[in-house]
Amino acid sequence: MSSMAFSVGAPPTTRTDSDEYAYDIPNRSIRKPPIAEMKVLGGMTVTGNFNDVHRPVLLREVVDLLGSEDRFISGGLIVDGTLGAAGHASACLEAFDRAELFGIDQDPEILEIAREKLRPFGERARVTHGRISELSSLLQTAELGQPTGMLFDLGVSSLQLDQPERGFSFAADGPLDMRMDPTRERTAADIINNWDEADLADLFYYEGDESRSRSIARAIVQSRRRAPFLRTSALAELIAGEMGGGKGGKIHPATRCFQALRRAVNEEGEELLSGLDVAEEWLANEGVLVVISFHSGEDRAVKHFFAEGARRGRWRVLTKKPLAADRQESRTNRRARSARVRAAVRVRAAEASAPRGEGAS
């Protein structure tokens, strides 16, 4: 593969951040596998074909961006900071047959699925539990050297949304939890039952783009005086009531608040920022970082990071505008509609030749 320019597919359909929750709708049209195909891994029931349960978005684009400029022709290390069911990771190991992979995920149940999927690649794939914010120390411990490629496919996996007992879903009742990493202490219930009204309103407004944030926060605070919120259905019903039932809307009325709440529980904004720093610190010269985001705030953060990095001579941006799913992918995987991919190459040459103190970290 030679050096290539990446074009922007015309945004296929109207995009909203809430398309990330497209799976979380009752009577969804996603094919459910026959029971015989299913098996239990890490406490989750999944099909023999893992891509049926979580379809990796913009797969070809991600592989092309990572492999641009023949980066993995004679080896190299890919770090996947959001391994999930290893859809992108396994496609990369297939495409770059000399590359190795170090993958992490904060969800131990999903990690078991990834382990199973990556088994055929033997020692080329190493997998461990951890958060993006711990990646620097995990890389240090693993002693694998500098990565040539890094991938962050942010947000929630459909495997998580599909397990009501994990508490991500407004469509199916479960405990109000939403922790991707069960070793975290704070659950969604802790936030809903303890945060001030103003803080809840800000969360729904700034992280969820919810225009009714103030009245929803007020209703939550009034209701929790009578009894704390413990179940997703209780919260979803209260929000729906506050929004007049949401009749005729394209999305469930609780979608935006649930997304905002999940982002707070898992500190997703902070995790992204530390991931960008880890990439700048660890990527080899000419190594590439690819980020898939599902939230306009996240996409903006990546855009600004790359622009500022390019201004300082540390990054060369590959995607002037973010790549989006084409019509075909958007039709068959609604979650892909809100996905945006940006990529940039780490440039260290200037740092190496700069006089001491200039351009150094």
Report the C-alpha gap between 107 and 86 in whole angstroms.
13
Interface size with ligand SAM, residues (CB under 6 A): 21
Quick one: which segment of 153-161, 252-260, 297-305, 353-361 binds ligand SAM (CB under 6 A)? 153-161
- By CB under 6 A, tell whether 334 contacts ligand SAM: no
Among 82, 232, 233, 259, binds ligand SAM (CB under 6 A): 82
- By CB under 6 A, tell whether 86 contacts ligand SAM: yes
Least separation in angstroms between residue 359's CB and ligand SAM is: 29
Among 93, 104, 176, 200, binds ligand SAM (CB under 6 A): 104
Residue 117 · residue 50 · CB < 8 Å:
yes
**Residue among 114, 107, 6 at smallest CA distance from 51:** 114
- By CB under 6 A, tell whether 256 contacts ligand SAM: no
- By CB under 6 A, tell whether 153 contacts ligand SAM: yes
- By CB under 6 A, tell whether 85 contacts ligand SAM: yes
Rg (CA), the chain: 21
Torsion angle of C-alpha atoms 215, 185, 296, 208, degrees rounded to 10: -10
| Sign of the torsion angle spanned by Cα atoms 208, 166, 173, 251 | positive
Quick one: which segment of 103-111, 167-175, 219-227, 317-325 binds ligand SAM (CB under 6 A)? 103-111
Residue type, 191: I
Pair type for strands 149-153 and 323-324: unpaired
What string marks each residue from 115 to 134 as x (binds ligand SAM by CB under 6 A) or -?
Answer: ----------------xx--
Among 24, 64, 112, 271, binds ligand SAM (CB under 6 A): 271
- By CB under 6 A, tell whether 163 contacts ligand SAM: no
Report the C-alpha gap between 104 and 90 in whole angstroms.
13
Cross-strand pairs, 329? none
**Residue among 242, 255, 209 at smallest CA distance from 24:** 255
Q: Which of residues 25-64 bind ligand SAM (CB under 6 A)?
A: 54, 56
Least separation in angstroms between residue 87's CB and ligand SAM is: 3
Nearer to ligand SAM, 63 or 238 (CB): 63
Torsion angle of C-alpha atoms 196, 197, 202, 207, degrees rounded to 10: 80
Report the C-alpha gap between 296 and 104 in whole angstroms.
24
Least separation in angstroms between residue 290's CB and ligand SAM is: 10
Output the six-digit token pair for 330.
């958007």
**Site of interaction with ligand SAM (CB under 6 A):** 54, 56, 81-82, 84-88, 104-107, 110, 131-132, 153, 155, 157, 180, 271
